[in-house]
Amino acid sequence: MKRYGNITGWGKYVPSRVVTNADLEQTLDTNDEWIVTRTGIRERHIVEAGESTSQISIAAARDALDMAGVHPKDLDLIIVATSSPDYLTPPVSSQVQDGLGAKNVGAFTLVNGCTGFVYALATAQQFISSGACETILIVGAELTSRFVDWNDRETCVLFGDGAGAVVMQATDVPSGVLSFVLGSDGSGAEHLILPGGGAVHPPSHENLDAGLHSVRMNGREVFKFATRVLGKALRQALHQAGLEAEDIDLFIPHQANVRIIDRAARFANLPPEKVFVNIEKYGNTSAASIPIALCEAFEQGRAKIGDTLAFVAFGAGLTWASAVVKITENTQPVPKSWWQGLVSRWFSPNHLVSNSAPQKTPADHTPEAN
């Protein structure tokens, strides 16, 4: 019998601190009108000093697990998609595993920029289809605010922090990832890159002075790339699933730029009422953007159980990914909450490196925090 991976729970966490375009006007040569018309972004959520990627991942994950009625110890695998982990090593997925109390559960981190969540979803589906796993937690989380130059108006206005998570469970009911497309073109790597901190430019005073520790982006090239691949990737995923645009109930794209989303939807013949957009509130939260949007789509009644959804993303690599996902009724029993006891421990700052000074968030330069 064919095995499917139904999505039975979802959750999100965004930091409470909101930085508006007007706030950014105080420190940057930018303005609300430019940001809104060019990107669709009005505000973004930015973490406070001391918050970490593992913490926000755990917060999103516990909601998703609660909704699915899955205790962390019953997970078979945890995949965390992020390009802004707590540390280069250990992998942040192990911090999430430990923080959830998912004792000895296998965990890995998938580093793929903004396409990370869709790559993780497609990967999880394979573990379930093969019979290797029954229940998988997938998290997309980013603290991009720690890796942008808050003096670079071409990048910093675009990004926000946040996390989203889903639980995927084996079932014989056709559901979950019905089709997916994964693509990569490394020849465009330099258009979206964080050059420092890896093996090529390891941390050094010279590399810090040269500003290699911040994201650099050639916005125009990324824009051209995105408009070239998104609509096509979406159409390919529909074709592979044997579906037409009219069979899709809601299109949930990566939230990077509303103009890119509009073009992709037009290319795939999806009308605006079938397109979910929340970029105005969060900016680009990279690997977290699709799971956060998924949660909001359900909260707002735009998505419902039984729907067929289409996800599409693009990002660093350069990479792209799309998936057609059907969400059906959860047939598993849902017991009550398990996580309260763990929260206090994991929400104490710097729990792992107890003697380190709290990090100064780049966004602390914004007027709100001054």
Strand bridging mode 162-171 / 135-142: antiparallel
| Residue from 6, 257, 284, 330 carrying the catalytic annotation | 284
List the catalytic residue out of 133, 156, 191, 254: 254
Does residue 73 contact residue 105 with C-beta atoms inside 8 Å?
yes
Q: Which is nearer to ligand ACO, 105 or 114 (CB)?
A: 114
User: Residue of minimal CB distance from ligand ACO?
Assistant: 219
Q: How far is the CB of 315 from ligand ACO (least distance, A)?
A: 4
Distances, alpha carbon 32 to alpha carbons 21, 36, 43, in Å:
5, 6, 10
Q: Is 239 one of the annotated active-site residues of the chain?
A: no
The size of the chain, in residues, is 370
Query: Looking at beta carbons only, is 144 or 361 nearer to ligand ACO?
Result: 144
CB of 38 to ligand ACO, least distance (A): 4
Asked if 219 interacts with ligand ACO (CB under 6 A), we say yes
The tokens describing 78, both together, are 């945890």
- The answer for residues whose C-beta is within 8 angstroms of residue 187's C-beta and 6 or more apart is none
Stretch that binds ligand ACO, among 127-135, 222-230, 296-304, 335-343 (CB under 6 A): 222-230
**Could you give the 3-state DSSP secondary structure of residue 167?**
strand
User: Is the link from the previous residue into 342 a cis peptide, with omega within 30 of 0?
Assistant: no
Select the span of 27-35, 96-104, 202-210, 328-336 touching ligand ACO (CB under 6 A): 27-35
Per CB under 6 A, 114 contacts ligand ACO? yes
Residue closer to ligand ACO by CB (options 5, 40) is 40
Active site residue 278: no
Binding status of residue 82 toward ligand ACO by CB under 6 A: no
Q: For residues 20 and 201, what is the distance between their CA atoms, to the nearest angstrom?
A: 33
Q: Does 116 bind ligand ACO (CB under 6 A)?
A: no
The secondary structure of 245-259 as a DSSP string is GGG-SEEEE--S-HH
Q: Is 114 a catalytic residue?
A: yes
At closest approach, how far in Å is the CB of 197 from ligand ACO?
16
Q: Which of 298, 300, 290, 281 is nearest to 320 (CA)?
A: 290
CB 63 within 8 Å of CB 334:
no
Residue choice 222, 234, 238, 265 for contact with ligand ACO (CB under 6 A): 222
Residue 244 CA to residue 54 CA, distance in Å, equals: 39
Q: Which residues of the shown chain bind ligand ACO in the complex (CB under 6 A)?
A: 30, 34-35, 38-39, 113-114, 153-154, 157-158, 192, 217, 219-220, 222-223, 226, 256-257, 284, 286, 315-316
Q: Where in the sequence numbering do the catalytic residues fall?
A: 114, 254, 284
